[in-house]
Structure 1
Amino acid sequence: MVPPDIIKATESHIEELSRLFSAYRDFYRMETDLEGCKSFLTERIENGDSEIYIHINEEGSQTGFVQLYPLFSSTRMAKFWLLNDLFVHPDYRGRGISKKLIDVAKELCRNTRACGMMLETEKSNDIGNNLYPKTGFKLDTKHNFYTWDV
């Protein structure tokens, strides 16, 4: 069951969510582009490309979000989710919001009969690298991770 302070993002949340998403991108040293954030998030929601859940505080402000993309595992012959983005505004960290957002992501996996989820984070992300094992994620040391950029 999704906690009452976590909601699924809709187009009505884009304006405030874009500012939070921009702060997330700042964390990863990306160039600030608020209009690009709005456009990107609007496309994801309109096209149903991802699932985005937002934490709402007591004052009704968005304080964190998680975004997941559907994938498929051929070897497992099942849906598999990519937890691509998890962010809590620095002013609200240490309150268990990230854990709540991860719990909602786990519920999404169960509800869609997925075989699991994966995520990637920088080796220097001490917060994430401390959090993920505490929430049941296991570091995959058996596989190489490669990327190709256009």
Structure 2
Amino acid sequence: MCYTIKKASLEDLDETAELFDLYRIFYRQKSDLEKGKEFLKERILNGESDIFLAEIDNKAVGFVQLYKLFHYTKLQKQWLLSDLFVHPDFRGRGISIGLINESKNWCELTGACGLMLETEKTNTIGNTLYPRCGFSYDGTHNYYHWWR
């Protein structure tokens, strides 16, 4: 089965929110479809992220969400590949690679210097996928979070 990738808009909000909810459940969060939908709607309306959907027969089966950042040494825009998810029923078909390639194309189109991402050490699929897609592991930095 072939898939297509398109940039998501508000018209795609329901399908995107369903996938986003499954993504959050994957990361051990409680399901909250409505709150996730509102979160995505705000990102789209405020131009705070760019989301690309993978579709099979006009049904969304995967997505990637990118946030704009700026790189201090390159003095350029870069993109944070924040969220990448393919519905379990559609995995193993190269859809994740297609979404990553679309993200790389978006870097080219927007004049960004590249993509950055972070994933859990326990994400064995992602930790094998990203190097296969040309990402380099940065073992010299520690990432810390501050939450209020």
TM-score, scaled to structure 1: 0.95
Aligned-residue Cα RMSD (Å) equals 1.2
Equivalent residues of 2:119, 2:127 under 8 A apart? yes
Equivalent residues of 2:78, 2:112 under 8 A apart? yes
Q: Hey, what's the Cα distance between the residues in 1 that align with 2:27 and 2:45?
A: 25
Q: Which one-letter code corresponds to 1:43 in the other structure? A: E
Q: Hey, what's the Cα distance between the residues in 2 that align with 1:48 and 1:4?
A: 26
Identical aligned residues as a percent:
53
Q: Hey, what's the Cα distance between the residues in 2 that align with 1:123 and 1:50?
A: 25
Q: Secondary structure at the match of 2:135?
A: coil
Partner residue in 2 for 1:36: 35
Q: Which one-letter code corresponds to 2:76 in the other structure? A: A
CA deviations 1:17-67 (Å, max 9, x no partner) are: 11110000000001110100110010011111001000010x211000000
Partner residue in 2 for 1:78: 76
How many residues end up aligned between the 2 structures? 147
Give structure 2 stretches of 5+ with no counterpart: none
Q: Secondary structure at the match of 2:41?
A: helix
The match for 1:103 among 101, 104, 109 is 101
Structure 1 consecutive aligned stretches of length 4 or more whose deviation exceeds 3 Å: none
Q: Which one-letter code corresponds to 1:36 in the other structure? A: K
Equivalent residues of 2:3, 2:95 under 8 A apart? no
User: What is the CA distance between 1:4 and its match in structure 2?
Assistant: 7.3
Q: Secondary structure at the match of 2:93?
A: coil
Q: Which one-letter code corresponds to 1:75 in the other structure? A: T
Give structure 1 stretches of 5+ with no counterpart: none
Q: Secondary structure at the match of 2:6?
A: strand
User: What is the CA distance between 1:7 and its match in structure 2?
Assistant: 0.6
**Is the counterpart of residue 148 in structure 1 residue 146 in structure 2?**
yes
Q: Hey, what's the Cα distance between the residues in 1 that align with 2:89 and 2:69?
A: 32
Partner residue in 1 for 2:124: 126
User: What is the CA distance between 1:110 and its match in structure 2?
Assistant: 1.1
TM-score, scaled to structure 2: 0.96
Q: Hey, what's the Cα distance between the residues in 1 that align with 2:16 and 2:112?
A: 27
